[in-house]
Homo-oligomer: A and B are copies of this chain.
Amino acid sequence: MAKEYVDIYTLKYLLYQVHGLDKLLETERYKDHDLASLDLFLDSVKEFSDRELYPYFKEMDQNPAQYQNGTVMVHKQVDVVMKKAGEMGIIAGPLDYDVGGLQIPFMIHTASTYIQEAANNHLPGYPGLTQGAAELIVHFGDDYLNKTYVPNMLAGKWGGTMCLTEPQAGSSLSDITTKAIPTQEGHYNIAGQKIFISGGDHQYAENIVHLLLARIEGAPSGTKGISLFVVPKNRVNKDGSLSKNDVHTVADFQKMGQRGYTTTHLGFGDSGDCRGWLVGEPHKGLKYMFLMMNSARISVGRGAAAISMAAYHASLQYAKERPQGRKLSSDGKKNPDEKPSLIIEHPDVRRMLLLQKAIAEGSLSLVLKAAKYYDLIQSTADKADKGKYRLLLEMIIPIVKAYPTEAGAIAVSNGLQVLGGYGYCNDFILQQYFRDIRIFSIYEGTTGIQSQDLLGRKIPLENGKALELLLTEILGTITLAMTFKDLHSQAKILGDKIKLTRKVLEFLTPFAKKGNYERYLADANLFMEFFAHVTIGWIWLEMAVRAQQSLEEKNQTYSKEFYESKIHSMKFYFKYELTKTLSLAESLMHDDTLTISDMRNIF
């Protein structure tokens, strides 16, 4: 295990200097908070993570959560962390005062969870999903559901889950078949199977509150006939006591990574006695679920960003301590009598480390940007501004989900490579990060699904208004960067990438207009990669602008080297990563259609 798993300085730099948390605190919603207290909160979360999360990271992998006799046995820290997360206000944090929340900015909540995930990504999902489930009840549930379930969930006493996927349907929610039959007593009888349920059961849970998608008898087919239910593992009797609700843990899924975070297969109503309570109106379940999906997708991007940061630190430490090989002298030879160099001296090792840094910090800043939009939607009084931030958030959500998870996996793989053979061995932690991060581009909608969302729904959103708003933001940063001589060249390059984006869309859009959606979306995955690079180019330029300003203002909050390193990483991103847009654009505007399904059999 490495000495450090997170760069708390960069995290705070992004929060306070780049994304201007202070301005957010001037709004009505967040006026009770000040920077000093939030800063202390983050320090306390770091300390908590040092003590309760990081030390158990490896052993949770080695002793995975495991199905045993009808329940799942998880590591004891699940219990500790759930309760502490309740006590520390981590679960209730971002919720409104009137439902028992602390109304802390989502940016701070994001930073807090990021630290925990960097420390041990197997644990924060338990309180995290509990929070998500509680929020669904808060937003859409009636008074009875709120009173009955939410307080114990926010306190970390009861867990919460999201039950969407079914064995036969996978990502295709229109095919779910779990049944809900209305009863005279007001509740519904639930019957069906759900798989891939994160945190679906464990031995410490007094109760688990499942937010479940099901089809009310006679509902229309497809996504328009899906309703949302609260289905507790144990139902709450009038006197507050609990009794079983015919929810059974059928099995668990043993996985390649994130092995301490249980993934379960649940059966509902096997004995015909499972009760569910409708949340909101019938047939609107998917709509409710998707209103919460944005924060769920930010969470996944955040978790992957956190793992890539932790892996970066582990490989950086190794590179700084491990002597091996020698530098080339000017005759192209190496002198064996010289002392070996540290491997961080080798350019290729530095390249791998800088790649990790560029991806990890770029991902983090993108995630915080999304959290900021989220906060602005909540806190801005002006209706037009609210609408603007909502569109900006919608626009970047698929990228926030896809980029940190896809690029993060590459970053971690480079981190493993820095250690050579040791990186592949269980004695070193890199191989665990490598396995853990691989799930992030799958759950909460695969990269394929995010890409369809980006090109198929977000780019055309409100006739391209969301896209134009985002491009305007990017152009704003470019204009600012142009005022600094040292950033001039990269500012110009990013401007050219905006033009290239338009060119690519001009090539693709006619396919959609002609009704050939299959062709329009066939390379959506490449478009995601292309547009994510442009977006991260912007994110890095923004970081560099702030650093350059600080250098010129002789701002002493951070060292000169700190600011310079941000500009250096930006340049690295532009040289090694943003350049990829060139090839991607060429592929995207290629005339060959090789993946459309009605072609001859090619497999």
Contact of A172 among B171, B263, B324 (CB under 8 A): B324
A435–B256 contact, CB under 8 A?
Answer: yes
A332 at the interface (CB under 8 A from B): yes
B175–A340 contact, CB under 8 A?
Answer: yes
Q: How many copies does the complex hold?
A: 2
Q: A170-B324, A330-B515, A347-B518 are in contact. Are A255 and B354 (CB under 8 A)?
A: no
A148 at the interface (CB under 8 A from B): no
A448–B169 contact, CB under 8 A?
Answer: no
Q: Which of A369-377, A388-396, A521-529 contacts B (4 or more CB under 8 A)?
A: A521-529
A240 at the interface (CB under 8 A from B): no
Q: A76 contacts which chain B residues (CB < 8 A)?
A: none
- Interface core residue of A354, A569, A587 (most chain B CB under 10 Å): A587
B336–A174 contact, CB under 8 A?
Answer: yes
Q: A336-B222, A594-B572 are in contact. Are A253 and B327 (CB under 8 A)?
A: no
A492 at the interface (CB under 8 A from B): no
Q: A256-B434, A583-B583, A594-B571 are in contact. Are A330 and B424 (CB under 8 A)?
A: no
Give complex CA distance A259, B572 in Å: 37
B171–A325 contact, CB under 8 A?
Answer: yes
Give complex CA distance A50, B263 in Å: 33
Interface string of A167-197 (1 = CB under 8 A from B): 0011110110000000000000000000010
Q: How large is the interface on A (under 10, 10 to 19, 20 to 34, 35 or more residues)?
A: 35 or more
A535 at the interface (CB under 8 A from B): no
- Interface core residue of A330, A583, A600 (most chain B CB under 10 Å): A583
A337 at the interface (CB under 8 A from B): yes
A254 at the interface (CB under 8 A from B): yes
A420–B171 contact, CB under 8 A?
Answer: yes
B596–A172 contact, CB under 8 A?
Answer: no
A354–B575 contact, CB under 8 A?
Answer: no
- Interface core residue of A320, A413, A447 (most chain B CB under 10 Å): A413
A425 at the interface (CB under 8 A from B): yes
A463 at the interface (CB under 8 A from B): no
B254–A425 contact, CB under 8 A?
Answer: yes
Interface string of A427-448 (1 = CB under 8 A from B): 1000100110011011100111
The 8 closest A-B pairs by CB, nearest first: A222-B336, A256-B431, A330-B515, A347-B522, A583-B583, A350-B595, A347-B595, A254-B426
Of the A-B pairs whose beta carbons lie under 8 Å apart in the complex, a sample of 14, sorted by A's number, is A172-B326, A222-B334, A253-B421, A255-B431, A332-B515, A345-B597, A347-B522, A348-B595, A417-B442, A421-B439, A568-B602, A575-B587, A575-B594, A583-B584
Given contacts A222-B335, A353-B603, 17 further A-B contacts (CB under 8 A): A174-B326, A327-B518, A328-B517, A347-B595, A347-B596, A348-B448, A348-B524, A349-B448, A413-B438, A417-B442, A417-B446, A417-B448, A420-B442, A421-B442, A421-B443, A568-B594, A571-B594
